[in-house]
């Protein structure tokens, strides 16, 4: 399997360090409903996990739940998102977090996103974070100022490796209002000292406070996956700050790179622009459902674009996805009881093409193309079975595809057996036998309708 590694900007052959693939995905900040852009990123995470499994790997996935410490800007500015929601909604930040975490997991389930094996909450790992920060202090990578403990990027010459950012340019371009006690404008908070009114705060060697957002991921990934694990995922917005900071913290503490492959999902746009609350275009999954788009239509919509390409969300696009998904289900259902025999060689070729597509940095649009070609074959149970096997990756609940009632065969096995013998006789051009078998079926009270690729049978009207 080949994956695109943001660190090297190349597609690389994937090999795990050990038998089980260890993977960390940055999870949601649970102060609000996830929007469809967030969900696209988790569909990407899910596809990666599914392809790894399809290829025979065991996967241990960790996805954090950020319930403290994510400020309004990724670069340590503004209020804590949880505290702000708490103030506005007049609920405790813990109630807010519980509520939105539950809705988030419901969304994942509706989208057939398999839940990562471990989903740790930041607030349940404060001691690990404090120990991490203390470790960085002890090694001289961190310093204390009035409002918190900061990472000293000047001590980490490799800073900026992932985004290939120029630090001196950053220094020159830094805003003037940036915290003047910081040694470099890009130094970031590991631990913030809490003002009294801040609800979420914990004791630490530096007084009462709360962790920075970046340290959460470093501490939890290390705890559950070790100093170096295989894959780290997130959205492209994480490249320049969040993941750069995770790398700096982890490498400074352990001397090892935290992850070997960094994979990032591109953004979803709405009407070709950014999603924003102001424009009122940050749709949630429930809103799509209310508008008549089942969650799996949204999943199908996502699968039609490669994860490294921007995906423009429009309702026309969703309409097209809905029609296409329904057609796919109908075409597939017709194979369920199909009797045609497809040469094994041909089936093998479909399997090869599918595997090649998904193993090429998750080329799901191409893999869907293979499925579409396959369902156009004459009606065969082999196609049905193969599609369900592919669905281990697609996650489109293809097994729920049902023929419309009118097309279902409604006859007992002995009648079906007669019909089957008649069908074979007809194929061998033994029409006399075929006719007498049909007569037998009709005498038993059933009627047969022939189609190009098979037959259906039901009780006489």
Q: Which is nearer to Zn ion, 232 or 336 (CB)?
A: 232
> CB neighbours of 177 closer than 8 A, spacing ≥ 6?
none
238 counts as binding ligand AMP under rule CB under 6 A: yes
Q: Which is nearer to ligand AMP, 33 or 151 (CB)?
A: 33
**Binding pattern to ligand AMP, positions 273-312, x when CB under 6 A?**
--x-------------------------------------
Q: Which does 217 bind (CB under 5 to 8 A by kind): ligand AMP, Zn ion, none?
A: Zn ion
- Pick from 4, 6, 21, 41 the residue near ligand AMP by CB under 6 A: 41
**Binding pattern to ligand AMP, positions 175-214, x when CB under 6 A?**
----------------------------------------
CA dihedral defined by 88, 92, 97, 98, rounded to 10 degrees? -130
Residue 431 φ/ψ region, left for φ over 0, alpha for ψ in the -120 to 50 degree band, beta for the rest: alpha
- C-alpha span between 363 and 304 (Å, rounded): 9
With beta carbons less than 8 A apart as the criterion, state whether 1 and 14 touch. yes
- Pick from 28, 160, 240, 258 the residue near ligand AMP by CB under 6 A: 28
Q: How many residues does the chain have?
A: 461
Q: Which is nearer to ligand AMP, 217 or 329 (CB)?
A: 217
368 counts as binding ligand AMP under rule CB under 6 A: no
Measuring CA to CA, which residue among 25, 382, 388, 42 is closest to residue 231? 25
162 counts as binding ligand AMP under rule CB under 6 A: no
61 counts as binding ligand AMP under rule CB under 6 A: no
- C-alpha span between 307 and 41 (Å, rounded): 8
In the block, which residue shows the tokens 């009797």? 339
Question: Smallest distance from the beta carbon of 64 to Zn ion, in angstroms?
Answer: 6
Question: Phi/psi of residue 198, each to 5°?
Answer: -70, 125
- C-alpha span between 32 and 439 (Å, rounded): 66
Question: Phi/psi of residue 459, each to 5°?
Answer: -60, 145
Q: Which is nearer to ligand AMP, 118 or 416 (CB)?
A: 118
CA 333 centroid distance within chain: 27
Count interface residues toward ligand AMP (CB under 6 A): 15
160 counts as binding ligand AMP under rule CB under 6 A: no
Residues that bind Zn ion (CB under 5 A): 26, 217
State the CB neighbour count (10 A cutoff) for residue 331. Answer: 19
29 counts as binding ligand AMP under rule CB under 6 A: yes
Q: Which is nearer to ligand AMP, 21 or 26 (CB)?
A: 26
- Pick from 5, 6, 38, 249 the residue near ligand AMP by CB under 6 A: 38
- C-alpha span between 256 and 241 (Å, rounded): 19
Question: Smallest distance from the beta carbon of 334 to Zn ion, in angstroms?
Answer: 45
Q: Which does 275 bind (CB under 5 to 8 A by kind): ligand AMP, Zn ion, none?
A: ligand AMP
- C-alpha span between 212 and 73 (Å, rounded): 12
Tell me the pairing of strands 209-211 and 148-151: unpaired
267 counts as binding ligand AMP under rule CB under 6 A: yes
- Both tokens of residue 103? 């809705």
Question: Smallest distance from the beta carbon of 451 to ligand AMP, in angstroms?
Answer: 44
- Both tokens of residue 99? 């509520």
- Both tokens of residue 327? 């057609």
Question: Smallest distance from the beta carbon of 40 to ligand AMP, in angstroms?
Answer: 5
Question: Smallest distance from the beta carbon of 269 to ligand AMP, in angstroms?
Answer: 7
235 counts as binding ligand AMP under rule CB under 6 A: yes
Among 22-30, 125-133, 178-186, 283-291, the segment contacting ligand AMP (CB under 6 A): 22-30
Give the burial class of 367: count Cβ atoms within 10 A of its Cβ; 0-12 exposed, 13-18 middle, 19 or more buried: buried
240 counts as binding ligand AMP under rule CB under 6 A: no
386 counts as binding ligand AMP under rule CB under 6 A: no
Question: Phi/psi of residue 260, each to 5°?
Answer: -95, -30
First to last CA, the chain: 55
Question: Smallest distance from the beta carbon of 141 to Zn ion, in angstroms?
Answer: 19
Q: Which does 438 bind (CB under 5 to 8 A by kind): ligand AMP, Zn ion, none?
A: none
- C-alpha span between 461 and 444 (Å, rounded): 13
Point out the residue whose Cβ comes nearest to ligand AMP. 235
- Using DSSP, state whether 457 is helix, strand or coil: strand
Question: Smallest distance from the beta carbon of 231 to ligand AMP, in angstroms?
Answer: 14
Question: Which positions lie near ligand AMP, rule CB under 6 A?
Answer: 26, 28-29, 37-38, 40-41, 234-235, 237-238, 265, 267-268, 275
């Amino acid at each position: 399997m080949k994956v695109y590694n943001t660190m090297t900007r190349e597609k690389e052959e994937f090999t795990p360090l050990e038998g089980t693939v260890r993977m960390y995905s940055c999870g949601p900040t649970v102060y609000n409903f996830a929007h469809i852009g967030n969900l696209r990123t988790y569909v990407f995470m899910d596809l990666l996990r599914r392809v790894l499994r399809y290829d025979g790997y065991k996967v241990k996935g960790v996805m954090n739940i950020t319930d403290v410490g994510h400020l309004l800007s990724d670069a340590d500015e503004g209020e804590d998102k949880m505290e702000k929601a708490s103030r506005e909604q007049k609920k405790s930040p813990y109630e807010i977090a519980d509520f939105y975490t539950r809705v988030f997991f419901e969304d994942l389930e509706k989208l057939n996103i398999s839940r990562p094996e471990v989903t740790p909450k930041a607030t349940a790992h404060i001691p690990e974070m404090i120990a991490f920060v203390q470790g960085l202090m002890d090694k001289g990578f961190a310093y204390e100022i009035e409002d918190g403990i900061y990472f000293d990027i000047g001590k980490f010459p490799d800073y900026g490796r992932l985004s290939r950012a120029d630090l001196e340019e950053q220094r020159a371009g830094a805003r003037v209002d940036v915290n003047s006690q910081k040694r470099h404008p890009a130094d970031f908070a590991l631990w913030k000292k809490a003002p009294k009114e801040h609800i979420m705060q914990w004791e630490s060697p530096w007084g009462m406070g709360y962790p920075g957002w970046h340290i959460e991921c470093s501490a939890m990934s290390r705890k559950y996956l070790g100093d170096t694990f295989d894959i780290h995922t997130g959205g492209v917005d994480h490249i320049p700050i969040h993941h750069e900071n995770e790398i700096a913290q982890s490498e400074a503490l352990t001397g090892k790179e935290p992850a070997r492959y960094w994979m990032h999902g591109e953004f979803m746009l709405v009407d070709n622009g950014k999603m924003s609350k102001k424009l009122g275009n940050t749709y949630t999954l429930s809103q799509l459902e209310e508008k008549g788009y089942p969650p799996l239509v949204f999943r199908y919509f996502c699968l039609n674009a490669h994860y490294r390409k921007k995906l423009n969300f429009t309702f026309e696009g969703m309409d097209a996805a809905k029609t296409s998904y329904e057609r796919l289900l109908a075409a597939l259902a017709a194979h369920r009881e199909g009797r045609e025999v497809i040469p094994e060689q041909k089936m093998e070729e479909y399997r090869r093409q599918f595997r090649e597509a998904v193993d090429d940095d998750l080329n799901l649009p191409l893999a869907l193309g293979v499925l579409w070609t396959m369902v156009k074959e004459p009606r065969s149970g082999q196609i049905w079975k193969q599609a369900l096997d592919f669905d281990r990756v697609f996650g489109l609940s293809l097994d729920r595809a049902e023929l419309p009632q009118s097309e279902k065969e409604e006859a007992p096995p002995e009648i079906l057996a007669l019909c089957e013998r008649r069908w074979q006789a007809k194929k061998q051009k033994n029409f006399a036998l075929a006719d007498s078998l049909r007569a037998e079926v009709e005498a038993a009270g059933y009627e047969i309708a022939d189609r190009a690729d098979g037959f259906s049978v039901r009780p006489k009207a």
